[in-house]
């Protein structure tokens, strides 16, 4: 069994709550499914869960390099220079990243509101980019955008390999065919 879940902001990638964050049990009441990969509590979007250990490893294990795609709202204006740096790979404290696919995109028209909303500063514009990576280091997207001078304000994973969020409202899940 494979499930796609549109994880809201503030929900951990585990069934039990911790501190101020809620757990998956508040949204998914299915025994025997396990998270395939992680998504930080302050990130939103696609999370896959499965009852198949081999499928879980294939999705989550960095050795398989399954591409993950994100919509990222950043503080500042996305420049060609920033996109080129992201596409080539950027240097982080734990070493250089692999090259990424990066492009500036228009603000998403069909996006759910976030609770709480992102911080907004009247003097600093925001913009959006789509970023696809094949590795999954801790807070990697946020660190990559910061490295090119574009702090992340909102991070939404839209796809993992062939699986995507299309038409799935925030906080809901659906069984899919692997």
Number of domains comprising the chain: 2
When pLDDT is averaged across residues 23-39 and rounded to a whole number, the result is 93
- Does residue 72 share a domain with residue 14? no
Q: State the pLDDT at residue 17.
A: 94
Do the strands 34-36 and 44-50 form a parallel or antiparallel pair, or are they unpaired? antiparallel
Q: Which of 1-5, 115-119, 145-149 shows the lowest per-residue confidence on average (mean pLDDT)?
A: 115-119
Token pair 């228009």 in the structure block, residue: 106
- Does residue 173 share a domain with residue 148? no
In this prediction, residue 14 has a pLDDT band, given cuts at 50, 70 and 90, of very high
Q: State the pLDDT at residue 120.
A: 79
Mean residue pLDDT of the chain comes to 93
What CATH number does the domain containing 120 carry?
A: 3.30.70.1560
Q: For residue 83, count other CB atoms closer than 10 A to its CB.
A: 18
Higher pLDDT, 119 or 163: 163
Residues noted as catalytic:
40
- Does residue 171 share a domain with residue 153? no
| 89 within 8 A of 97, measured Cβ to Cβ | yes
- Does residue 83 share a domain with residue 52? no
Share of the chain above pLDDT 70, in %: 100
- Does residue 86 share a domain with residue 30? no
Q: Is the dihedral of CA 84, 86, 88, 90 positive or negative?
A: positive
Closest CA to 44 of 160, 158, 178, 142: 158
How long, in residues, is the chain?
Answer: 178
Q: State the pLDDT at residue 122.
A: 81
When pLDDT is averaged across residues 134-144 and rounded to a whole number, the result is 92
In this prediction, residue 57 has a pLDDT band, given cuts at 50, 70 and 90, of confident
What CATH number does the domain containing 12 carry?
A: 3.30.70.580
- Structural domain including 28 reads 1-62+164-178
């Amino acid at each position: 069994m494979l499930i796609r879940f549109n994880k809201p902001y503030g929900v951990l990638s585990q069934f039990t709550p911790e501190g101020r964050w809620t757990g998956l049990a508040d949204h998914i009441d299915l025994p025997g499914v396990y998270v395939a990969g992680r998504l930080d509590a302050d990130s939103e979007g696609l999370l896959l869960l499965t009852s198949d250990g081999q499928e879980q490893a294939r999705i989550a294990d960095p050795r398989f390099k399954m591409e993950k795609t994100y919509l990222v709202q950043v503080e500042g204006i996305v420049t060609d220079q920033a996109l080129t740096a992201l596409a080539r790979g950027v240097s982080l404290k734990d070493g250089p990243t692999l090259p990424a696919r990066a492009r500036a995109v228009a603000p998403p028209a069909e996006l759910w509101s976030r609770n709480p909303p992102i911080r907004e500063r009247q003097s600093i514009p925001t913009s959006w980019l789509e970023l696809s990576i094949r590795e999954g280091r801790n807070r990697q997207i946020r660190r990559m955008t910061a490295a090119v001078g574009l702090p992340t304000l909102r991070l939404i994973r839209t796809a993992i390999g062939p699986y995507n969020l299309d038409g799935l409202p925030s906080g809901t899940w659906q069984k899919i065919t692997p």
